[in-house]
Amino acid sequence: MGPFLWLLLLGLIIAVAALGIKLRLMRRAAGEIARGFSEKLRADTNTLIDISSRDKSMRELASLVNSELRRLRRERLRYQQGDLELKAAVTNISHDLRTPLTAICGYLELLEREELPEKAGKHVGVIRERAELMRSLTEELFRYCVVLSDPGGLNAEPVDLGAALEQSLASFYAVLTDKGITPDIIIPEERVVRRLDRAALSRVFSNLLSNAAKYSDGDLRVELTAEGRLSFANRCRALSGVEVEKLFDRFYTVEAARKSTGLGLSIARALAERMGGELIAEYKAGSLIMTVLFIE
């Protein structure tokens, strides 16, 4: 082999080696961009992606990604600010409504004590029903805003899930029986204890039982497993699989005529997640299944 071919072969070897090094550096830079992008999305930080490569194309790519990150942060801040303003406005409005509603209910109570013609008495009864409904919905709005506005405020302590569930079922016994529902209850013999906020857990159970009482077709099965899985299942022909996906959306109701703001399940999910749990909904064979998970 002549000197020229040796030089050509040596040049090819050097070029391949340089190309391999270049490729390795670009892969490392791409990895740094990918990891940095993932970290910046998860973390609430103003820092941007920095890479070790001096390659012009990779640095332009990092700059473009940083530009998009800055835009996403601005959109996130705008959304968070708007959400806070909405919650504050709803809280203030619901708070302002409570005082006149309380006064209206008080005057209605005084009016009901008077001797009224039968027709006037019926009208007062309708006004009383509507005023109580408005007060109930106002309170629900107020509770929802308070729950979401206060990220802390939970007092974790050892709670027996079975005992807490039995207490909630007992408090809802009259409501369920009025609806013709006799719940089928399954609770394990061994105690299932988790560190939770007792009041928040009671609210989660109450909202789920209230939802079952509204939409059940006459049955309710409540089951607690030793692993900390609680399920509330009832037949519900008024629902569809698509609607189940929307149940946790704020202000969504299955039927507009229902006497509800649609916030009960949103509150239940928010409280469950704040206690380290999870609340999911499924629709199987005509039954709505609400499952609360408090897995250790």
- The domain spans of the chain are 1-150, 156-293
User: 27 to each of 13, 58, 220, how far by Cα in Å?
Assistant: 21, 10, 56
pLDDT bucket at 227, cuts 50 / 70 / 90: very high
The CA distance from 223 to 175, in Å, is 19
For domain 156-293, which CATH number applies: 3.40.50.10090, 3.40.50.300, 3.40.50.720, 3.30.565.10? 3.30.565.10
pLDDT bucket at 103, cuts 50 / 70 / 90: confident
Structure tokens at 164: 């807490």
Q: Which of 246, 229, 234, 243 is nearest to 288 (CA)?
A: 234
Average pLDDT over residues 91-96: 74
Question: For residues 200 and 146, which has the higher predicted lDDT (pLDDT)?
Answer: 200
Say whether 290 sits in a helix, a strand or coil. Answer: strand
Query: How many CB atoms are located within 10 Å of the residue 108 CB?
Result: 16
pLDDT the model gives residue 257 = 39
pLDDT digits (tens, 9 = 90+) for 125-138: 888 888 887 887 77
Contact at 8 Å (CB) between 275 and 296?
no
Average pLDDT over residues 164-190: 91
Lowest mean pLDDT, pick from 67-76, 121-130, 148-157, 210-219: 148-157
